[in-house]
Amino acid sequence: MPRLRPPHAPIKFPKKLAVGGEYLLDAGASKSIWFRQVQEKEAFTLCDVEGKFFRASVLSASKDRVNVTVYEEMPTSPESDTEITLVCAVLARQRMIMVAQKATELGVARIIPVFSAHSVGPEGLEHEKAHAWPGQLLRAARQCRRASVPELRTTIALGKVFEDPVWTGAHVRYSLDDRAPVVPAEFPAREPGAPLEVVFAVGPEGGWSDKERTLLEANGARPLRLGGRVLRAETAVIAGLAVLQHTLGDLR
């Protein structure tokens, strides 16, 4: 039996799609439909074997069978050609909800919430409505017509991130730091069509501690500074992702 794609990955159809056609999705694609909580007559984004993206709606659905109809071909891909992992310190006052929404709209591949010296601690996750974060990703992905839903990792200590293959295998890593030297940011040369994996780390209000700055740099994170103003943490996430997507991704 072939290995099923993760439910948060783009829903792919193994043949060419055409506007006006009706199609039966396989078990893996059906699982993704249920994961996205797509209801009958509701729209979603589907990718075909040629890599073209379409808008489709569900005609009927059961546990293992989903019939859909395609009604629109999308002019461009809704997926970023840069795989960005957002490492974000858990923010207070339920601002992680906004981070989840806007990071999804800006095309991140995954979000890894972390505990840092100045962030909300493990005892505060319930107050920050951590249980609601996955739903925010789903709703934001549907709203912006993404074919995929970002992966949301379990919240861990910052130091544990450096052991993750997502961190160690990234082509480049950035750490947002308003105390970084005022020097031009360094971005890797990008070959058209070549995959690029990026990690973007953002601290809480109050920033990273001196120990964390040293740790981030020792693990290969390049400091990134956004002007001379001190931004709110959630603003910094949005602005930083926009800069990266404009420079390396699809906001060009």
Instruction: Provide CB contacts within 8 A for 218, sequence distance 6+.
Output: none
End-of-domain residue from the set 73, 107, 139: 73
Q: Are 63 and 175 within one domain?
A: no
pLDDT in tens, 172-208: 999 999 888 877 778 888 777 778 999 999 999 999 9
Q: Is residue 236 part of a domain?
A: yes
Q: Are 109 and 222 within one domain?
A: yes
Give the structural domain span for 172.
Answer: 82-248
Q: Are 182 and 109 within one domain?
A: yes
Q: Are 179 and 68 within one domain?
A: no
Q: Is residue 9 part of a domain?
A: no
> Domain total for the chain?
2
Task: For residue 61, give both structure tokens.
Answer: 């659905």
DSSP per-residue string spanning 14-53: SS---TT-EEEE-HHHHHHHHHTTPPTT-EEEEE-TTS-E
Q: Are 124 and 49 within one domain?
A: no
One digit per residue, the tens of pLDDT, for the chain of length 252 reads 233 358 899 999 999 999 999 999 998 899 999 999 999 999 999 999 999 999 999 999 887 789 999 999 999 999 999 999 999 999 999 999 999 999 999 999 999 999 999 999 999 999 999 999 999 999 999 999 999 999 999 999 999 999 999 999 999 999 999 888 877 778 888 777 778 999 999 999 999 999 999 999 999 999 999 988 889 999 999 999 999 999 999 998
Q: Nearest-CA neighbor of 24 among 60, 53, 74?
A: 60
Q: Is residue 16 part of a domain?
A: no
Q: Is residue 1 part of a domain?
A: no
Q: Are 105 and 201 within one domain?
A: yes
Q: Are 62 and 177 within one domain?
A: no
What is the C-alpha separation between 38 and 35, in angstroms, rounded? 8
Q: Are 68 and 99 within one domain?
A: no
Q: Are 96 and 206 within one domain?
A: yes
Beta strands in the chain (DSSP E): 22-25, 43-47, 53-61, 66-73, 82-89, 110-115, 151-152, 156-157, 172-176, 196-202, 221-224
Q: Is residue 13 part of a domain?
A: no
Q: Are 63 and 99 within one domain?
A: no
Q: Are 34 and 94 within one domain?
A: no
**Any idea what the CATH number is for the domain that residue 48 is in?**
2.40.240.20
**Any idea what the CATH number is for the domain that residue 149 is in?**
3.40.1280.10
